[in-house]
Amino acid sequence: MAGRDMGGVVVLGDAGLLFVPASVALKFVAMPKVLSVPDPPPSLVGVALIDGTVIPVVAVGPSRDTMLVCTYLGEPIGLVGHSVVASGTFEPADVPGSVRCKAGIAKTIDLSAVAASLSKNAWAGRSTGL
């Protein structure tokens, strides 16, 4: 199975163990200053300036020590609220879309759902003023 092993990082958040593939995990940074935005979706903590780019910061748990900067469809997203469990290469688990690590089975994070949660109701209740 070594040829099928997947590289990345396993974090622990509110939803349990999550696997973030190396293909989307860009870097960990110290928790930056996060600015709140008006009427945010529930998971949005706010926005932060990372390397000259304003990115959304999404909570996957309560911790605010570090932020994992990921990319989804070429756009950066910051994940906070996790603790790092392991990093390296992991064997695929019997559960589709999951990997096995010493701490257990980690489900691959669904960044498409994270991104969708940010745009959900983005224009609800807004008027063009026309």
Domains identified in the chain and CATH numbers: 2-117 (2.40.50.180)
Q: How confident is the model at residue 20 (pLDDT cuts 50, 70, 90)?
A: very high
By C-alpha distance, which of 18, 2, 3, 1 is closest to 80?
18
Q: What is the pTM of this model?
A: 0.85
The whole-angstrom separation of Cα 106 and Cα 63 is 19
Encode pLDDT of 26-63 as tens digits: 999 999 999 998 888 888 999 999 999 999 999 998 88
Tell me, what's the pLDDT at 120? 59
Torsion sign, CA atoms 99, 100, 102, 106:
positive
CA count, 13 A, side-chain hemisphere, 48: 23
Q: How far from 123 is each of 43, 48, 49, 99, 119, CA to CA, in Å?
A: 17, 22, 24, 37, 8
